[in-house]
Amino acid sequence: AFMDLTLLDEPLGKYNPDYSYNPSKCLLWQDILMGLFDKHFEGIDISGYYSKLEGKMKKYKEENKEWQFVFDVPLKLCDVLKQKGDMGLRIKKYYDAKEIASLKKIAQEELPRLYESVDKLRIAHRKQWLEVYKPFGFEILDIRYGGVLARIDTAKDRIIDYTEGRIAKIEELEQERLYFDGEKGPGEFKLPYCNQYRRIISASPL
C-alpha cells in the first residue's frame, strides 16, 4: 500500500529512472485558464488514470485503519486530479470550437464541484499535517490551496462572462498551449517536471 503512493506520479505506467517527473504536483497547482502543463497531457487519459487510482487508495484507507489519515490525502488528491487533469485541455478545446454550452456546463457544474474537492483535500492535508508535525509551515499550504480555490472561482466567472456575452474573448484561452520545458521530439518522454511552486502557478513568477 505504501509503495503504491508513488503511483500518483506514474500515469504512464512503469517508473522511468532516466527522467524526473512530478505530474501530480504540476496538475494540482497549475492554473486552469493558463494551462502551463496541459500540453504534456495531450493524448493521455489522465482523468481515467486518477479515477482508477482513487479506487485503489480508497481500498487502502479502508484496509489500514491505523493509517487512514495517511491514505485520506492521496485519496482526496486523486479525486481532485481526476477532475482537474484534463479540464484545462477541454476548456481550451471548447473555447477554440466556440462550444458555448459545453463551456457553460464546466463553469456551472464542474468548477463548483472541483472547488469543493480541493477544499476537502486542504482539510484532509491539514488534519494529516497536525497529526504528524507542529502547525508551523502549514500556513504556506493554506495559502497555496487558497490560491487554487480563488483561481477556480475566477475561471468560473471568466467563462460565465464569456458565455453570456459580457466579454468578447478570454485572453488566457487565446494563447497556444506549449510544452513547459521545450518541444518534445518523437518518442521523447513528455511527463512534466517542475519542483518550484512559483514556476508552476504562473508564467509570471513573483
- At 84-102, the pLDDT tens digits run 999 999 999 999 999 999 9
DSSP 156: H
Q: What is the distance between the alpha carbons of residues 204 and 15, in angstroms, rounded to a whole number? A: 31
User: What pLDDT score was predicted for residue 186?
Assistant: 66
- 183 falls in which pLDDT band (50, 70, 90)? confident
Q: What is the distance between the alpha carbons of residues 159 and 89, in angstroms, rounded to a whole number? A: 14
Q: What is the distance between the alpha carbons of residues 62 and 173, in angstroms, rounded to a whole number? A: 41
Q: What is the distance between the alpha carbons of residues 25 and 115, in angstroms, rounded to a whole number? A: 17
87 Cβ neighbours under 8 A, 6+ residues apart: 32, 106, 110, 114
Q: Cell for 173?
A: 484561452
Whether 189 has a pLDDT exceeding 80, the answer reads no
CATH class of the domain at 86-173: mainly alpha
Average pLDDT estimate for 15-31: 89
The pLDDT tens digits of the residues spanning 48-65 come to 999 999 999 999 999 999
44 Cβ neighbours under 8 A, 6+ residues apart: 11, 12
Instruction: Spell out a b/e string for 98-124, using b for 16 or more CB atoms within 10 Å of the CB, else e.
Output: eeeebbbebbeebbeebbebbbebbeb
What is the domain partition of the chain in residue ranges? 1-8+44-85, 86-173
Mean pLDDT of the chain: 95
Residues 106, 113 contacting (CB under 8 angstroms): no
User: What pLDDT score was predicted for residue 187?
Assistant: 62
Q: What is the distance between the alpha carbons of residues 14 and 99, in angstroms, rounded to a whole number? A: 37
CA 93 vs CA 51, 109, 123, 129: distances in Å: 22, 18, 32, 38
